[in-house]
Amino acid sequence: MAGQAQDRHDPGDRPRRLHEAHATAWLHRAALWLEDRQDDAALAASDTAGGHALPAAAQGLSGGLVGSLPVITSALNERRCPLLDLPQIRLPVQALAPVARRALWQSLLPQLGDQVPLLAARYPIEPDDARDVVRDLSLRQALHGDPLGIDDIGACVRARTAWHARPGVTRRLPRAGWPALLLPRGSVEPLQAAVRRVLQQITVLDDWGFAQGRDDRRGVRMLFYGPPGTGKTLAAEVMAHALGVDLLVVDLSSLVSKYIGETEKNLAAVFEVAERSRALLLFDEADALFGKRTDTQDAHDRYANLETAYLLQRLERYEGVAVLTTNLRGQLDKAFSRRFEFIVEFPEPDAAVREALWRLHLPAQAPLADDVDLAELAHWYAISGAQIKNASLGAAFLAAAAGQRIHQRHFLWAVEQEFDKAGRAHPGFPPQHAGLSGATPIPQETS
């Protein structure tokens, strides 16, 4: 039996409550478990204030109060442990191996049959968490009466996974499926192959023995390269949706710090969040850390190389999918290319794809006028998928502001705005719409 003490109240009341917990544990011949449930943000704040809650609360124990009473804590490290002057037994606890994880899910949800390996590959949660998920599933089934599926399990896992917002990291719930990707076949096929690879990892690496000699290198690392707005982020979302996991978009430029050690600390926090949920990690603007290396001339260069090496190390240990994006592949050091299982190009869309993108981004209920010609837009303006999406929405707002249906002129004006935002020279309007040049898109109010 173990008595559990959590520090969640007034810091000034800690010593009294700690003595009460000790007395209760002693009377019941139980061990005393000290648990610090503060998230990293709270820990950072308490660092500033002069110490963590758990060390402050447990100082009395280190003065001889424990005696023969065992004290158990998961916070036993030099940064957070208040009990370093007591005799210690350190017991490393390893996460479940993939095969054991599959056996766990099989024992808990035998009705899923051949879907169990997919479940084990998607969600690397621990036994207690898995049992909680199964209880949640039972309640969900009792309420709705529908048969349980992989999507239901994903929803329960997501609800059980703690999420703490971090600067530079955005969490997205993926909704887009494969039909949303309008890319060449050569770009789509490696995306689908990467998804299959994750789902088949346990079979190939563990059952078939290919894990030998790989130094725990699991998961999939991918490089997406191409001009802005060509679908790199959307492709990552589609893959996350196919895997049934969240998408974490990481702005690397915001994590890189001029202070020594801060970049590694920021990256470690990102991976800790991702590893709890096996989220798909999307590192945007990877050039911030993976640009071409220069000769090491000073301490700054040495630490920059250490930061890059640290990220590579964490990427290789990550069991999920990690995607790095760049606008120009040539900006990345060629030595890093061998680290990726897949390198995928995202080209500018041609006229046929642009027309399909225009159609994709116009809802069925959009009030289009008879003069709308999407083929003309696609042929006349070589813009990206993201710009087409923005222009579609912009045209709708222009038409709504004028109290009209969406006409071709609204699309043309919206496209012109996209060229202005990108700092590109506008190629002009098609000949039949030349009169739009210099016209105002929204009628002026009259007094």
Q: Which of 62-71, 340-349, 434-443 has the lowest mean pLDDT?
A: 62-71
d(Cα 55, Cα 138) in Å, to the nearest integer? 39
pLDDT value at 47 more than 50: no
Structure confidence at residue 104 as a pLDDT band (50, 70, 90): confident
pLDDT value at 33 more than 50: yes
| Of 294 and 355, more confident | 355
Angle between helices 385-401 and 351-360 (to 10 degrees): 50
Q: Quote the pLDDT of residue 215.
A: 64
pLDDT tens for residues 51-102? 444 444 455 554 445 556 777 766 544 444 555 556 677 766 667 778 888 8
Q: Quote the pLDDT of residue 67.
A: 55
Phi, psi of 222, rounded to the nearest 5 degrees: -135, 150
Phi, psi of 326, rounded to the nearest 5 degrees: -150, 150
pLDDT tens for residues 208-247? 988 887 766 788 999 999 998 899 999 999 999 999 888 9
d(Cα 137, Cα 133) in Å, to the nearest integer? 6
What percent helix, strand, coil does the chain show, rounded to 5?
Answer: 55, 10, 35
Whether 423 contacts 415, CB under 8 Å:
no
Whether 84 contacts 105, CB under 8 Å:
no
Pairing of strands 247-251, 71-73: unpaired
pTM value surpassing 0.85: no
d(Cα 358, Cα 356) in Å, to the nearest integer? 5
pLDDT value at 285 more than 70: yes
Spacing of C-alpha 317 from chain mean position: 16
Q: Rounded to a whole number, what is the largest CA-CA distance in the chain?
A: 92
Q: What is the mean pLDDT of residues 1-27?
A: 65
pLDDT value at 32 more than 90: no
Q: What is the mean pLDDT of residues 115-141?
A: 80
User: How many CA within 13 A on the CB side of residue 414?
Assistant: 22
Q: Quote the pLDDT of residue 118.
A: 76
Q: Which of 159-168, 183-192, 364-373, 400-409 has the lowest mean pLDDT?
A: 159-168
Q: What is the mean pLDDT of residues 194-215?
A: 85
| pLDDT mean across residues, the chain | 78
pLDDT tens for residues 289-328? 666 554 455 455 555 667 778 888 888 888 889 999 988 7
Q: Quote the pLDDT of residue 14.
A: 65
Amino acid identity of residue 354, one-letter, is R
